[in-house]
Structure 1
Amino acid sequence: MTKAENPSSRPIDHLARCGAPDAAALLIGGKVTTFADLDAGVGRLASWLLDQAGGPGERVANWSAKTRLACLLPLAAARAGLIHVPVNPLLKGPQVAHILSDSGAKLLVTNGARADMLGKDLPEHCVLQDQKIGEEVIDSGGQGLPLSIAEPGDLAAILYTSGSTGRPKGVMLSHANLWLGAESVASYLKITPEDRILAVLPLSFDYGQSQLLSSWYAGAAVAPLDYLTARDVVKAVARHGITTLAGVPPLWVQLVESEWPAETAGLLTRLTNSGGALTPSLIDAIRDTFPRADIYPMYGLTEAFRSTFLDPALVADHPTSMGRAIPHAEILVCRPDGSITDDGEPGELVHTGPLVAQGYWRDEERTAQRFRPSPAASRYGGTAVWSGDTVRRDAEGLLYFVGRDDAMIKTAGNRVSPTEVEDVAVGSGVIYEAVAFGVPDARLGAAIVLIVRGRDGVNDEEGLAAYLRQNLPNFMQPAAIEWREELPRNPNGKLDRVAIAAGWTHEVTT
């Protein structure tokens, strides 16, 4: 079989010139940033970042809310030949310190409160800059850097994602990964310059960053929103005339339970979902709440950006399907030997093509486990992402999720590593051992349960809870903690996680 040619791409900062110069690119509060403003601001910010970081190839991190600066940084870092490391604003000091240390970031742009949260955990090699200075640079009127001439394979970003074991790992994304990902999403969502996209997801997520990049590829405007309640989303849709909203299942539950004026709900014509499957009942509720909107269920993984989507026309008859491959992606369902499964036969989802990331930052072992040669049947060849997810394909070529091979907990749209929760809990000093796992939850998808064994038979419940609140973000907080005198072990002397999880019979209230 002749291997497919990879499509052409451009440096990611060229997105700043995809829209009409006088068209809106960014809507924050009452301020409109046009594409001309975007391009000029990206150039000025790129010049400043390069000066602060010390030279091309360095990593620059941003830990903030969805400010104008945070939105411009992915393009500005790329224009300067730097590597962008976005940090989830919900993370606490210990998690951020790990990301800064692991990435070797030379610069962290954040605010004073977050800098204080880091304190002495800030790595020595990393310099702090207040985000207010970056905002001033954008408006300075000075001469900025010209468009990038980066090669498609040049590294543009490192996005940190949790693994089933250990701390978050950095996924390396090239200019081609980001550009072609933006082109793919913009094309199958049919985004036009007239659209307005409400960006409610964290920009540190591949799904969240896509809100920016795919919109700008299509010449559309983005309205970033850090929301506290579903009511904030309702108000923002009305204020900005939003047509497109991306969410995760727990957010959709909140939104369909909110009061929507008919004229506001009618503005939305396109809804996208990832980070967990929509149930048929939730799809029905979304249809009732937003009668004019097309629904796009999607599946993705950071290691390949996005893999599948279900055409809105198929949602009613196939509500539990993941759909088919997105443009620029090839999705195969494989047996362990790499051969292709028959229709209806479960197998591992394998993603090939130009959206496949470059591996994990400075982690050859985990890269070799996940990024392996493509199956012989692949039309692209090269390296593929072997997802670890089990799916099946029906006779129409539609894919259905079967299960996850690893122990990741998918909660509130976030992938949480049980090991990371356990390590923080043990770090409290009040317990000897901990096991974390997820249990089904109607609101969150999965709720986190933590089973612990106290030190010297003492159950310091208040001390552990206070330590977890201080050192874990909200979405990693256990919904229930159970103290036990003994924890079962397997023949190798290790904690028997299966037996411990199977022994949990209580209901969790979230």
Structure 2
Amino acid sequence: MVAGPSGAIDFDEIAAGLPRRIHEVTADHVAGAPGQIALVEDGAAWSYRDLDRRVTEIAAVLSSLGVRAGDRMIIVSENCISLAALLLAASRLDAWAIVANPRLSARELDQIRDHSGARRMFFASKVSKEAAAHAARLGAENRHLGALQDIGVGPLNESATAEPVEADPARQVAVLIYTSGTTGTPKGVMLSHDNLLISAKTTAYFRKMDRSDKIYLVLPISHIVGISLLIMTLMVGGTVRMVSKYDPAETAKAIAEEGVTILNGVPATYQRLLEYKSVSGLRQLSPGSLRLIAVAGAPLDLDLKSRVEKEFGLPLLNGYGITECSPGISGVRFDAPCADQAVGTLLPGVEGRIRTIDGIPISQGEIGELHVRGRNVMCGYHRAPELTAKVIDSEGWFNTGDLARFDGDCLYIVGRTKEMIIRSGFNVYPAEVEAVLSSHKDVVQCAVVGRPADGNEEIVAFVQLLQGSRVTSADLMGFIRFQLTSYKRPSEIIVLDALPATSTGKILKHKLAGSLRGEAPLAQIAPLRRQQI
């Protein structure tokens, strides 16, 4: 079956008038409401007039530092005004922005730098001690970039080559977002200006966003949802409240006192808010000016959904998207909330179809792999045409690798054909964690699987050591600590004498995952050596 968005929605009308580049989304507001506040963080606020003028100045400084059209530039930063300004300045230059989470390990960040062939790296050192540490390690010098102070500027990569510049916004890459992929090596998802603009515009349309909205941006801009939320809010002339690190107490206070109208999060965002309410002894969390709360990035537990909705007196709108789709694929409509775990209807302009693993069409209501097509689908993987060809066919259909079904126009995600673990909204690929564990001299083999935990997923690693090794789970935790960022580290490492495997040596991960769900005792699957957290 093939499905499109429900209702009488004129996609051409929604898409009309889109700018050519993401930095141009502010133009109408600079002209019509220059004093409107665009960006806010603790201790600072920029109006649309400020943003436009300062981004122009920053772009000129970047150019003087050797950043050219078609270059890749890495911005290592938590959410802050400096990050937004650098992102938009890169757009002005037709450079490709790579926003990197400063909590990445040295190994992870260096992989991105090397694979992308970045011209320069920039670090928001003042905002994040992790960014400052990376800046010091890589020889960056603190400089003023126009209105931005204390930005670490890394050395110029003289060997970097610029990519061709495309006038067509559907072909010119705006951002390069790295995901480690199932192979454990980085994959750079190339998203064009048009990818980002059309996804942001349709989501804003769905949510009835306008100039009166103030979004609490706690989801990191180093990931696609954060970038999209930033763009859509600036597109409608609203205000973006920048949040560098999530603190449920600060979030509750901001909602109560700062006029926040929209909160986006992953299930863990809301789980921690409710935990804060409980431990602080509050009778009720104030909804303040909230009019919309949304969740995505991980399976939604219905009990959590019910408790959040009761707390704020608003429906918790579930959605579904992935990096390669910029990210919007579907969402529960603002005017048609759902009581179950549905991820809503397809966004305007997005087509979806369900196929068997072998690509055969199946009937309405049956479960299969979800394929999608639309202007939101990525340009491809950077420097990996063979990987791109595996997921996007000749007709433009992208295979999400997720198992889904349609009930009428409503989409349900029921599982994943790939092994990816979603932890607090972050994608974690077992192969990357396994690669780091396997680099330990005493590790023979290992397997990493996900374990459901309060609407989230935990990472559990099973490890087989060399016979006679005295290495413990705690030793292995220490070994990986500085090689993997926090959300990629296992919650538990279980050491076994041998891992369950087929006669050909393929590890039976489904049996390990089943033992975590209580389907069979671990001792029946493999001999347990010792277990430590």
What's the counterpart of residue 427 of structure 1?
A: 439
Decide whether the 8 Å contact of 1:62 with 1:87 is kept in 2: yes
Q: 1:469 to 1:52 in 2, by over 3 A?
A: same
For 2:397, the equivalent position in structure 1 comes to 384
SS in 2 for 1:415: strand
* Cross-structure match for 2:241: 223
1:334 and 1:485, CA in 2 relative to 1: closer, same or farther beyond 3 A? closer
Cα RMSD (Å) of the superposition? 2.9
The one-character-per-residue Cα deviations of 1:237-294 (angstroms, maximum 9, x if unpaired) are 2342111110000111111333368683132111111101322221211111111x34
Aligned partner of 1:238 in structure 2 is 256
2:453 and 2:135 mapped to 1: Cα distance? 36
Q: Which residue of 2 aligns with 1:144?
A: none
Per the TM alignment, residue 187 of structure 1 is displaced from its structure 2 partner at its CA by 0.8
Match of 2:70 in 1: 57
How far has the Cα of 1:129 moved from its partner?
Answer: 5.1
Of residues 279, 285, 308, the one that matches 2:307 is 285
Name the aligned partner's letter for residue 151 of structure 1. Answer: D
Partner SS for 1:321: coil
1:181 counterpart = 2:191: no
The DSSP-based 3-state class of the residue aligned with 1:457 is: coil
Query: Residue 346 of structure 1: which of 349, 356, 367 is its match?
Result: 367
Write out aligned runs for 1:80-91 (5 A): 80-91=93-104
- Aligned partner of 2:352 in structure 1 is 331
Counterpart among 451, 455, 459 of residue 448 in structure 1? 459
Contact 2:37–2:239 (CA<8 Å) still a contact in 1? Answer: yes
Distance 1:340 1:493 in 2: 33
| Correspondence for 2:88 | 75
- 2:437 partner SS: helix
Deviation, structure 1 residue 167: 2.3
* Preserved contact between residue 493 and residue 532 of structure 2 (Cα < 8 Å): no
Q: CA deviation at 1:449?
A: 0.7
Aligned ranges for residues 250-399 of structure 1 at < 5 Å? 250-259=268-277, 264-291=286-313, 293-304=314-325, 305-317=327-339, 319-336=340-357, 338=359, 340-374=361-395, 383-394=396-407, 396-399=408-411
Q: Tell me the CA shift for residue 327 of structure 1.
A: 2.0
* Structure-2 residue corresponding to 1:476: 488
1:343-382: CA deviation from partner (whole Å, max 9, x where unpaired)? 21112211111111101111122111111133xxxxxxxx
Counterpart secondary structure, 2:375: coil
Given the alignment, which residue of 469, 477, 481 partners 1:465? 477
User: 2:192, 2:379 within 8 Å by CA — same for their partners in 1?
Assistant: yes
1:133 paired with 2:150, answer: no
Distance 1:138-1:460 versus aligned 2 partners, 3 A rule: closer
**Is the 8 Å Cα contact of residues 216 and 263 (structure 2) preserved in structure 1?**
yes
The AA in structure 1 aligned to 2:432 is E
Partner in structure 2 of residue 171 of structure 1? 189
Aligned AA (1:471): Q
How far did residue 497 of structure 1 move? 2.9
Q: How does 1:478-493 map to 2 (within 5 A)?
A: 478-493=490-505
CA distance in 1 between counterparts of 2:399 and 2:228 reads: 22
Helix, strand or coil at the partner of 1:401: strand
Offset of residue 331 of structure 1: 1.9
State whether residues 54 and 146 of structure 2, in contact with CA within 8 Å, keep that contact through their aligned partners in structure 1: no
Note closer, same or farther for the CA distance 1:391–1:254 as it changes in structure 2 (3 Å cut): same
Q: Residues 430, 118 of structure 1: CA spacing in aligned structure 2 closer, same or farther, 3 A cutoff? A: farther
Q: Quick check: 1:16–1:35 contact (8 Å CA) kept in 2? A: yes
TM-score (normalizing by structure 2): 0.84
Contact in 2 for aligned 1:27/1:222 (Cα 8 Å): yes
Aligned to 2:153: none
Identity percentage over the alignment? Answer: 28
Tell me how far 1:7 sits from its aligned partner.
4.5
Find the residue that maps to 2:276 and give its secondary structure.
Answer: coil
Match of 2:157 in 1: none
Report if aligned partners of 2:285, 2:312 keep a CA contact under 8 Å in 1: no
Q: Which runs of 5+ in 2 are unaligned?
A: 5-10, 151-164, 523-530
Contact 2:217 2:229 in 1 (8 A): yes
1:312 deviates by 3.9
Q: Residues 479 and 509 of structure 1 are in contact (CA less than 8 Å); yes or no, is this contact kept in structure 2? A: no
What amino acid maps onto 2:413 in structure 1?
F
In structure 2, the residue corresponding to 1:245 is in which secondary structure?
A: strand
Cα 1:107–1:452 shift into 2, 3 Å: same
Query: Counterpart of 2:123?
Result: 110
* 1:334 positional shift: 2.8
- Equivalenced residues, count: 485
Distance 1:465 1:411, change over 3 A: same
CA–CA separation in structure 2 for the residues paired with 1:231 and 1:257: 10
Equivalent position SS for 1:41: helix
Partner Cα separation in structure 2 for residue 24 and residue 262 of structure 1: 30
Answer yes or no: is the 8 Å Cα contact 1:69–1:135 preserved in 2.
no
2:267 aligned residue: 249
Task: Select the residue among 168, 183, 197 that pairs with 1:151.
Answer: 168
Equivalence for 1:408: 420
One-letter amino acid matched to 1:385: F
Do the aligned partners of 2:260 and 2:288 also contact (CA within 8 Å) in 1? no
Deviation string, structure 1 residues 479-508 (Cα, Å, up to 9, x no partner) = 111112222332333433334444555799
Shift of 1:509: 12
Question: Once the two structures are superposed, what CA deviation does each residue of 1:107-152 show, in whole Å capped at 9, x if it has no partner?
Answer: 1111565467548985xxxx8454x52364589xxxxxxxx99431
Give the match for residue 194 of structure 1: 212
Change in 2 beyond 3 A, CA 1:150/1:182:
farther
Residue 33 of structure 1: aligned partner? 46
- In the aligned structure 1, how far is the partner of 2:464 from the partner of 2:288? 53
Q: CA deviation at 1:226?
A: 2.2
Where does structure 1 lack aligned partners over 5 or more consecutive residues? 140-147, 375-382
The worse-fitting range, judged by mean Cα deviation, of 334-343 and 431-440 is: 334-343
Distance 1:230 1:439, change over 3 A: same
- Aligned pair in 2 of structure 1 residues 426, 340: CA closer, same or farther (>3 Å)? closer
1:100 equivalenced with 2:118 (yes/no): no
Q: Contact between 1:195 and 1:242, CA under 8 Å: does it hold in 2?
A: yes
Q: Distance in 1 between matches of 2:132 and 2:149?
A: 25
255-264 vs 175-184, which deviates more?
Answer: 255-264
Deviations 1:387-434 (A, max 9, x none): 11111111x311111210011111111110101111112223342322
